[in-house]
């Protein structure tokens, strides 16, 4: 593989020596153009300086930049024989949050500068926090101006200990400290002879050797469709019938032959071909590559849809929890406000249902009474979108996990957001507590969630459980997917989005029953892991026990039983998207209970579940 590109974000102010450090990297690695250098040398000379002022390399650029208000982040490219680098240089002025978020959201590594004389300042903590919020996997702390503290090892150790104490509260997995002097050149490109006590590598060497391949998410295949190339659109005769989907791979890989699911419709197909930018086919497309995908079937796909794997899909939903950074002083984020949300290739409207808290980035304190987010402030919000989004958590995927908010009146970008996950219940809505507490109720409720293929025996076990529990005096109630689809869920079909909604509603009803002291017995195919996980999370958040029972009956057995003749119809093509046949079933990875036909008949299986329920207490 060609030398891997490293994306670097820098944080720190001019005073910390950031510009000089970048200049030093470019200068000592001979990565700057001759004309730039001679201009810097001339200017330095004119100012009576002997050595070139390396800060001019980046500051000159900044001066140009500040004339225009739109470009806040400058990207510098340089290369060594080992690697190519892009540095996002974000000025440390008032718009720091915005600049850091825009400049650093794709970074592999963040360089944070600390002036050795000043030690860890609020600003250093803020930058480190932002880097961790943005999910930048590697953090390099350059303790700069070591020449001004007599190259003191003690001072270096002191700053390192101080910063480490703060960093334990952050989600940073790789933290490196390098003592440098950008001005003199110590430990930037060449190892310093002034600090023999430092046994690590210099900055450039560290950046060259940084292993980032494993940081990339190669598992979750995601392809947000940017535009559809329709048949007859091309005048080229051979392309006359061509229908392709253009976009940038946002995770995992895509290659011809891959089975895919198109969301939100849930239709399945296969990748026929993957076209690269040059108009030739490529064997495989990776995250970050712009390609056109051709499928074997003609499916109705529009911009904003997403192609994924049948057994590995993003969340589909309208209720989203996210951390949001507010960018503008012209307005503030408040509950109830509505914005345009741009998420991957989809845009829709989003309203702020709730501002959970505002975060003090210096102390990491959460202010739950906050009523708004102003310029540079960060907080957690709950959003409701008009159309469902197809998303992952930002932690899992930076592309499908991030969005921006646009003010509909001014068309300005007012915020960037990082999705933490689907909204975790209505627990934060003002809940009108009744007069009776859960403890005061005569029985303790819980939810038994039985998942499995159609015909796996879910209903049989659930019916038997209900009978036995009620006979023993314990209130229990069966929520059967089939039955609920006649009433509560009669508006839902079997697309991935509808199934997600089906599961969400049934989980909400189960939660109410469990809260009331009833054993809610859910019998639902619920084929997607993410949906079941969300049901569990909602229960856990509300402090209610949740028991996931997996009816692990092999497909062949279910198909043989075929009590309603559904499998026969699915095989005959009379029903499409039937779970197990041409729709996926994502088996639970760690269910609370796993029941197999070999474990006994319905009565025996119900007995196993009952045992577990009784062990949870009354």
Ligand X SMILES: Nc1ncnc2c1ncn2[C@@H]1O[C@H](COP(=O)(O)OS(=O)(=O)O)[C@@H](OP(=O)(O)O)[C@H]1O
User: Which residues contact ligand ADP (rule: CB under 6 A)?
Assistant: 452, 454-460, 523, 561, 563, 597, 601-602, 605
Stretch 523-552 residues interacting with ligand X (CB under 6 A): 524-527
388, 455, 517, 584: which one contacts ligand X (CB under 6 A)? 455
Contact by Cβ (8 Å): 208, 228:
no
Contact by Cβ (8 Å): 85, 79:
yes
Nearer to ligand X, 23 or 580 (CB): 580
Note whether 482 binds ligand X by CB under 6 A: yes
Q: Which residue, among 408, 299, 308, has the nearest Cα to 350 in the 3D structure? A: 408
Note whether 595 binds ligand X by CB under 6 A: no
Note whether 497 binds ligand X by CB under 6 A: no
Rounded CA-CA distance 332/358 in Å is 12
Angle at 88 between CA 84 and CA 91, to 5 degrees: 155
- Cis peptide preceding 264, ω within 30 of 0: yes
Binding partner at 524 among ligand ADP, ligand X, none, C-beta below 5 to 8 Å by kind: ligand X
Whole-angstrom Cα Rg for the chain: 29
Nearest approach in angstroms of CB 523 to ligand X is 7
Nearer to ligand X, 401 or 527 (CB): 527
Burial bucket for residue 19 (CB in 10 Å: 0-12, 13-18, 19+): buried
Rounded CA-CA distance 595/18 in Å is 60
In DSSP notation, 577-591 reads S-BTTTB-----SS-
Rounded CA-CA distance 413/406 in Å is 4
- Candidates 119-127, 242-250, 293-301, 573-581; binding stretch for ligand X (CB under 6 A): 573-581
Annotated binding site for ATP, which residues? Answer: 452-459
Q: Which of 393, 460, 523, 526 is catalytic?
A: 526
Binding partner at 577 among ligand ADP, ligand X, none, C-beta below 5 to 8 Å by kind: ligand X
Contact by Cβ (8 Å): 373, 355:
yes
**Which residues, including other chains, have CB under 8 Å from residue 245's CB and lie 6 or more apart?**
223, 225, 227, 228, 229, 292, 293, 294, 295, 301, 307
Rounded CA-CA distance 488/508 in Å is 12
Nearest approach in angstroms of CB 536 to ligand X is 15
CA 515 to each of CA 142, 454, 509, 519, 532: distance values in angstroms, whole numbers, following the listed order:
53, 28, 10, 9, 19
134, 496, 566, 606: which one contacts ligand X (CB under 6 A)? 566
Note whether 185 binds ligand X by CB under 6 A: no
Note whether 494 binds ligand X by CB under 6 A: yes
Nearer to ligand X, 157 or 586 (CB): 586
Nearer to ligand ADP, 514 or 549 (CB): 549
3-state secondary structure 215-267: HCCCCCCEEECCEEECCCCCCCHHHCCCCEEEEECCECEEECCCEEEEECCCE
Binding partner at 460 among ligand ADP, ligand X, none, C-beta below 5 to 8 Å by kind: ligand ADP
Annotated binding site for GTP, which residues? Answer: 12-19, 89-93, 144-147
Nearest approach in angstroms of CB 563 to ligand ADP is 4
Rounded CA-CA distance 44/51 in Å is 7
Note whether 313 binds ligand X by CB under 6 A: no
Note whether 454 binds ligand X by CB under 6 A: yes
Nearer to ligand X, 84 or 485 (CB): 485
Angle at 376 between CA 374 and CA 380, to 5 degrees: 70
Active site residue 423: no
Nearer to ligand ADP, 32 or 610 (CB): 610
Nearest approach in angstroms of CB 309 to ligand ADP is 25
Contact by Cβ (8 Å): 120, 114:
yes
30, 42, 211, 564: which one contacts ligand X (CB under 6 A)? 564
Note whether 553 binds ligand X by CB under 6 A: no
In DSSP notation, 31-46 reads -S-HHHHHHHHHHHHH
Nearest approach in angstroms of CB 227 to ligand X is 30
Nearest approach in angstroms of CB 481 to ligand ADP is 8
Note whether 459 binds ligand X by CB under 6 A: yes
Nearer to ligand X, 334 or 483 (CB): 483
499, 504, 529, 532: which one contacts ligand X (CB under 6 A)? 499
Nearest approach in angstroms of CB 611 to ligand ADP is 16
Catalytic residue annotation: 526
The residues of the shown chain that bind ligand X, judged by CB under 6 A, are 454-455, 459, 481-482, 485, 494, 499, 502-503, 524-527, 564, 566, 575, 577-579, 583
């Amino acid at each position: 593989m060609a030398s891997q590109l490293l994306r670097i974000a820098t944080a720190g102010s001019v005073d910390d020596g950031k510009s000089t450090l970048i200049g030093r990297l470019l200068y000592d690695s001979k990565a700057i153009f001759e004309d730039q250098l001679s201009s810097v040398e001339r200017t330095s000379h004119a100012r009576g300086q002997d050595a070139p002022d390396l800060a001019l390399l980046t500051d000159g650029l900044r001066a140009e930049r500040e004339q225009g208000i739109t470009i806040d982040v400058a990207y510098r490219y340089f290369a060594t024989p080992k690697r190519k680098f892009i540095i996002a240089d974000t000025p440390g002025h008032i718009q720091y949050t915005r600049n850091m978020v825009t400049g650093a959201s794709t970074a592999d590594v963040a360089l944070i500068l600390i002036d050795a004389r000043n030690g860890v300042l609020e600003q250093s903590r803020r930058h480190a926090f932002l880097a961790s919020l943005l999910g930048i996997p590697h953090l390099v702390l350059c303790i700069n101006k070591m020449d001004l503290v007599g190259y003191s090892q003690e001072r270096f150790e002191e700053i390192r200990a101080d910063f480490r104490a703060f960093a334990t509260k952050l989600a940073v997995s790789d933290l490196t400290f390098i003592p440098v002097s950008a001005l003199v050149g110590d430990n930037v490109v060449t190892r310093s002879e002034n600090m023999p006590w430092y046994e690590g590598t210099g900055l450039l060497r560290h950046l060259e050797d940084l292993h980032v391949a494993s940081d990339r998410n190669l598992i979750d295949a995601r392809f947000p469709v940017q535009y559809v190339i329709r048949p007859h659109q091309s005048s080229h005769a051979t392309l006359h019938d061509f229908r392709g989907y253009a976009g940038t791979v946002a995770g995992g890989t895509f290659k011809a032959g891959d089975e895919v699911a198109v969301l939100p419709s849930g239709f399945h197909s296969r990748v026929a071909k993957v076209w690269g930018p040059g108009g030739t086919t490529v064997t495989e497309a990776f995250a970050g590559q712009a390609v056109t995908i051709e499928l074997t079937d003609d499916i109705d796909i529009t911009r904003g849809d997403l192609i994924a794997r049948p057994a590995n899909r993003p969340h589909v939903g309208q209720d989203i929890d996210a951390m949001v950074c507010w960018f503008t002083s012209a307005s503030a984020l408040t509950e109830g406000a509505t914005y345009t949300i741009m998420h991957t290739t989809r845009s829709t409207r989003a309203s702020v249902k709730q501002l959970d808290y505002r975060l003090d980035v210096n102390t990491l304190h959460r202010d739950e009474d906050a009523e708004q987010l102003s310029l540079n402030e960060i907080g957690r919000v709950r959003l409701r979108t008009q159309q469902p989004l197809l998303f992952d958590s930002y932690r899992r995927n930076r592309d499908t996990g991030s969005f921006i908010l646009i003010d509909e009146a001014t068309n300005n970008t007012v915020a960037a957001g990082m999705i933490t996950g689907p909204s975790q219940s209505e627990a934060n809505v003002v809940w009108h507590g009744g007069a009776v507490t859960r403890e005061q109720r005569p029985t303790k409720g819980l939810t038994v969630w039985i998942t499995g293929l159609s015909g796996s025996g879910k209903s049989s076990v659930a019916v038997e459980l209900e009978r036995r529990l009620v006979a023993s005096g314990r209130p229990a109630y069966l929520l059967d997917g089939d039955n609920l689809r006649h009433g509560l869920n009669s508006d839902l079909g079997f697309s991935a989005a509808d199934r997600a909604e089906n599961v969400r509603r049934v989980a909400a009803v189960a939660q109410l029953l469990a809260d009331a002291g009833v054993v809610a017995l859910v019998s639902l195919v619920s084929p997607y892991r993410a949906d079941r996980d969300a049901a569990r999370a909602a229960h856990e958040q509300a402090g209610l026990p949740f028991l996931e029972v997996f009816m692990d009956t092999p497909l062949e057995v279910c198909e043989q039983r075929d009590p309603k003749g559904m499998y026969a119809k699915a095989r005959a093509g009379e029903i499409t998207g039937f779970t197990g046949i041409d729709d996926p079933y994502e088996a639970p990875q760690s269910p609370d209970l796993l029941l197999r036909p070999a474990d006994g008949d319905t009565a025996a299986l119900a007995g196993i579940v009952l045992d577990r329920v009784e062990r949870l207490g009354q």
